[in-house]
Amino acid sequence: MSIPCPYCQHPFPPGAQSCPGCGASLLLEAVPGGTQPVCAVHPTLRGLGTCSRCGTFACARCLRAGPQGETLCVRCHQLEPDAPLPWDQREELGMWRAFWKTLGQVLLHPGCFSQARAEGRTSDSLLFTLLCSLPACFMTGLTYMLIFTAMPWMMEALPDPNPSTGDGSGLAFMRWMGVGMFVATTLLGPPLSVLMTLMGAGVDHLVLRAGGVTRPFNVTLRAHSLSEAAWALGIVPLIGTQVAPVWALVSRFFAYRGLHRTTTGTALAGTLLAPLATCCLCGGGYMALMLAIFGLAAQK
Ligand SMILES: [Zn+2]
Ligand SMILES: [Zn+2]
Ligand SMILES: [Zn+2]
């Protein structure tokens, strides 16, 4: 939001001390006893804009841009909670410490979101998602490989239904298949989860917007990406990938409510509406498919 210059009406952004249009200084002396508003902090300076939070007049020195570009006074700007998460402090902490500390906070103290910095760069958010997906993708790939390498031995234990092909080529094929599955899951899984995060955050953002949220998409993406922390539990074989989706939804609710500073209802809708709709669609599609198959079978 910008404010018109008192001389030329050219809009200037909060924080500017001279007009970008006519170059005049925006620090205007207040006329003693005049009718014009004066700054709440500097009574000798004219108030040029009002704070969108507390409504007081602020001079050019006291005007600030809020997290959504709104006009704030210097006091309300200081009160704006802006605690950086460890992930925002990678330069000081180092990549891995920042990652582990963020995992701990998101998984165990999701309340931290209500005080946390809302905005984050898209690349930072997606990098976090990528790192979180690695353990689950690696473990899933490993599980596939073990199943495929173990399967030939299990089949060998069974009577061979077709002895003419029992030359061992099937065994080798299964083993290579297992290795292939491992490589494919480990390599393709992480970029795929980044893509899913982008799409998921996009859909959730539409729901949140409908619920009255005004903060930009990068806040939703940051919340969605950070809530992927639970997928790091995917390193626990078999159980991890079962627990992760539920835990991720719980974290996402806290992240949406905290970073968007929105109501519990809007945050719940943003978290659950898209997954529920997907379930219904998939469930519906599955039912239709089953009915069609039964229908075809009944006709024969
Ligand atoms: Zn001007
Ligand atoms: Zn204020
Ligand atoms: Zn002032």
Read off the pLDDT of each residue in 258-280 and give the average, rounded to a whole number. 90
What are the percentages of helix, strand and coil residues in the chain, rounded to 5?
65, 5, 30
Task: Grade residue 272 by pLDDT with cuts at 50, 70 and 90.
Answer: very high
In this prediction, residue 198 carries a pLDDT of 95
Task: Grade residue 102 by pLDDT with cuts at 50, 70 and 90.
Answer: very high
Which ligand is closest in space to the CA of residue 3? 1
CA of 48 to the centre of ligand 3 (A): 9
CA of 78 to the centre of ligand 2 (A): 9
In this prediction, residue 93 carries a pLDDT of 93
CA of 199 to the centre of ligand 1 (A): 43
Q: Which residue type is seen at 224?
A: H
CA of 257 to the centre of ligand 3 (A): 33
Same domain, 76 and 96: no
- Chain mean pLDDT for the chain: 87
In this prediction, residue 144 carries a pLDDT of 85
CA of 63 to the centre of ligand 3 (A): 8
Domain boundary among 80, 107, 139: 80
Which ligand is closest in space to the CA of residue 39? 3
Same domain, 227 and 242: yes
Task: Grade residue 280 by pLDDT with cuts at 50, 70 and 90.
Answer: confident
Same domain, 175 and 154: yes
Read off the pLDDT of each residue in 83-110 and give the average, rounded to a whole number. 93
pLDDT > 70? residue 100: yes
Same domain, 90 and 71: no
Q: How many domains does the chain have?
A: 2
pLDDT digits (tens, 9 = 90+) for 178-188: 889 899 999 99
- Report how far residue 40's alpha carbon sits from residue 47's, in angstroms, rounded to the nearest whole number: 8
Beta-carbon count within 10 A of 25 CB: 10
Same domain, 141 and 193: yes
Domain boundary among 25, 48, 80: 80
- Pairing type for strands 57-58 and 49-50 reads antiparallel
Which ligand is closest in space to the CA of residue 47? 3
Q: Which residues, including other chains, have CB under 8 Å from residue 193's CB and lie 6 or more apart?
A: 129, 130, 132, 133, 137, 228, 231
Same domain, 198 and 96: yes
Same domain, 158 and 52: no
Which ligand is closest in space to the CA of residue 40? 3
In this prediction, residue 79 carries a pLDDT of 81
pLDDT digits (tens, 9 = 90+) for 131-144: 999 999 999 899 88
Same domain, 20 and 45: yes
pLDDT digits (tens, 9 = 90+) for 28-55: 998 887 788 999 999 999 999 999 889 9
Residues with C-beta atoms within 5 A of ion ligand 1: 5, 7-8, 10, 19, 21-22
Which domain, by its residues, includes 43? Answer: 1-80
Residues with C-beta atoms within 5 A of ion ligand 2: 51, 53-54, 73, 76
Same domain, 69 and 133: no
Q: Which helix (H) or strand (E) holds 226?
A: helix 217-226
Written as six digits, the tokens of 81 are 């909670």
CA of 36 to the centre of ligand 1 (A): 18
In this prediction, residue 173 carries a pLDDT of 79
CA of 114 to the centre of ligand 3 (A): 29
pLDDT > 90? residue 149: no
C-alpha distances in Å from residue 226, one per residue of 26, 36, 113, 205, 273: 41, 47, 10, 15, 19
Percent of the chain with pLDDT over 70: 92
Which ligand is closest in space to the CA of residue 45? 3
Same domain, 72 and 107: no
Same domain, 26 and 173: no
Which ligand is closest in space to the CA of residue 44? 3
Same domain, 17 and 108: no
CA of 47 to the centre of ligand 3 (A): 7
Q: Scanning the structure block, which residue is given the tokens 């809009």?
A: 11
Domain boundary among 14, 48, 80: 80
- Report how far residue 86's alpha carbon sits from residue 90's, in angstroms, rounded to the nearest whole number: 7
In this prediction, residue 246 carries a pLDDT of 93
Task: Grade residue 152 by pLDDT with cuts at 50, 70 and 90.
Answer: low
pLDDT > 90? residue 221: yes
Range with the poorest average pLDDT among 64-73, 90-99, 184-193, 257-266: 64-73
CA of 8 to the centre of ligand 2 (A): 26
Read off the pLDDT of each residue in 199-211 and give the average, rounded to a whole number. 95
